Amino acid sequence: MKEIDKLKKLPGIGEKTAEKLIEAGYDNLMAIAASSIGEICEAIGVGEGTAEKIIESARQAVDMGFDSADIVYEKRKQIGKITTGSKNLDNLLGGGIETCAITEAHGAYGSSKSQLAFQLSVNVQLPKEKGGLEGSVIFIDTENTFRPERIEQMAKALNLDPQKTLKNIFVARAYNSDHQILLVEKAKEVIKEKNIKLLIVDSLTSLFRSDYTGRGELALRQQKLNRHLHELQRISEVYNLAVYVTNQVMARPDVLFGDPTTAIGGHILGHAATFRLYLKKGKDDKRIAKLIDAPYLPDAETVFRVTQEGIRD
C-alpha cells in the first residue's frame, strides 16, 4: 500500500490533508507520529485540535509502544555503517559511522573534521560490500569550506566517476543559524526523492556562536541549538540515515594541566550526539582520533592519515 493511501485511511485525514502532509515532507506515518502539534500546524495550516488528532491517529497506526530488548536488537541489525576510509578509525567507531545516530567530531582548525566530511560524502556512495550505503548526501556548509575539487580527488582514488559522485552530493550554504535550521527542515523534502543516506552539517555551532554573543544570549542560543539537534536526531531515526556534524572548540583558561580545549555546545550537544570524536593534529599527515563518548564502545584512541587520496590508515 502506498504511503498516501495509508495516510488517507487515518481517522480525520482526507485526501487533501494527506496531499498537504506529503507536500510538506510528512510522507510516512512515523514522520507524523514523531512530530509535535506546532510542527503539523505550521506545515499544513490547521488548528491545534486537528493537528493533535492527526498525530494521535498516526501514533495508533504505527507501533510506538514498548518492545522487549531482543526485538530492539533485531531492529538494530537494520542499521547501516559508512566506512571512514581508515580501518583504525572504523574499528574505533565500531565499524564506521552509524545510521540512526549523530556522530560529532570536534577539534582545532587543521584537525581534519571537514576532510572526514568529504571522505564520508564519497564513501557513502560505495556499494555495501565496500563499506558504503549506495546513497546520496546532503551537505550543509556554514563556513564556506566545501570544496568539490577535494571530492573529485577522493572519488578518483576509489575509481569512482567524479562527475557522478559530485551529482550525488546536494550542497547548501547557510548564512545564519535560522537559515541553517530552515535547511534541515527543507532536507526532509530531498531525503526520499534523492535516496539520502548521509546528512552533514559543517560546522554545527559556528553560526550559533556568531548570532548569539555574550552571556546574556547564551540561554537562547542553547535552546535553539537543542531543538536543532533534536530535529537532526529525529531525521536520522525516521529515515535511517547517518548524521555527521563538525564542531568548533575553545580554550578553557581555568585548565592548568593537560589539554585546555573543550567543545562548543556544552551539555546540550554532549547529550544529543550519539558518538563524539575529538580530533587532533599529529606529525606530518597523521591525525589522532579519540572516542570520548559512545553508547556501547569504550573510550579509546587511534591514529589515521590524511593523504592526497583521502582518509587512510
Q: Report, as an integer, the average pLDDT of 160-170.
A: 98
Residue 305: its H or E element:
strand 300-306
- What single letter denotes the amino acid at residue 11? P
- pLDDT tens-digit readout, 102-129: 999 999 988 999 999 999 999 999 999 9
Closest listed residue to residue 52, CA positions, set 109, 13, 107, 5:
13
What pLDDT digit, counting tens, does each position of 202-220 carry? 999 999 989 988 778 888 8
Q: For the purposes of burial, counting CB atoms within 10 Å of the CB of 113, is it exposed (0-12), middle (13-18) or buried (19 or more)?
A: buried
> At residue 257, does pLDDT exceed 80?
no
Candidate from 54-63, 98-107, 220-229, 255-264 with smallest mean pLDDT: 255-264
Mean pLDDT value across residues 160-186: 96
Taking 90 as the threshold, does the pLDDT of residue 20 lie above it? no
Band the pLDDT of 38: cuts 50, 70, 90: confident
Q: Where are the beta strands (DSSP E) in 221-299?
A: 242-247, 249-251, 261-263, 275-281, 286-293
- pLDDT of amino acid 157: 97
Where does the pLDDT of residue 3 fall: very low under 50, low under 70, confident under 90, or very high at 90 and above? low
Kindly report the average pLDDT of the chain as a whole number: 90
Q: Please give the pLDDT value at position 253.
A: 54
State the pLDDT at residue 189. Answer: 85
Q: Which whole number is the average pLDDT over 141-161? A: 97
Position 282: which residue type?
G
pLDDT mean over 268-291: 93
Confidence of residue 21 (pLDDT cuts 50, 70, 90): confident
Sequence-separated (6 or more) residues with CB below 8 Å from residue 118: 147, 150, 151, 154, 310
Output the pLDDT for position 30. Answer: 80
What is the pLDDT at residue 251? 60
Please compute the mean of the pLDDT values over residues 293-300 and round it to a whole number: 94
Considering 8-12, 52-56, 299-303, the range whose residues carry the highest mean pLDDT is 299-303
Residue 26: band (very low, low, confident or very high) from pLDDT cuts 50, 70, 90: confident
pTM of the model: 0.84
Whether the pLDDT of residue 254 is over 60: the answer is: no
Lowest-pLDDT choice from 5-14, 101-110, 170-179, 255-264: 255-264
- The 3-state secondary structure of 112-127 reads CHHHHHHHHHHHCCCC
* Domains identified in the chain and CATH numbers: 3-61 (1.10.150.20), 75-312 (3.40.50.300)
CB 142, CB 180: distance < 8 Å: yes
Tell me the mean pLDDT in the region 33-54: 86
